[in-house]
Amino acid sequence: MILHCVFLRFKAALQAADKQEIFEAVAVLKAVIPGMVDVKFGPNVSPEGLNGGFVDGFVVTFEDAAARDAYLVHPEHVAVGDRIVAALDGGLSGLLVFDMIV
What was the pLDDT predicted at 90? Answer: 97
> Distance (Å, rounded) from C-alpha 57 to C-alpha 7?
4
Categorize the per-residue pLDDT at 38 as very low, low, confident or very high, splitting at 50, 70 and 90: very high
Taking residues 52-60, report their average pLDDT. 97
Q: Is the CB of residue 85 less than 8 Å from the CB of residue 91? A: yes
Q: Is the CB of residue 39 less than 8 Å from the CB of residue 26? A: yes
Angle at 35 between CA 83 and CA 62, to 5 degrees: 75
Q: Which alpha helices (DSSP H) does the chain contain, by range?
A: 16-28, 65-73, 75-86
Taking residues 3-22, report their average pLDDT. 97
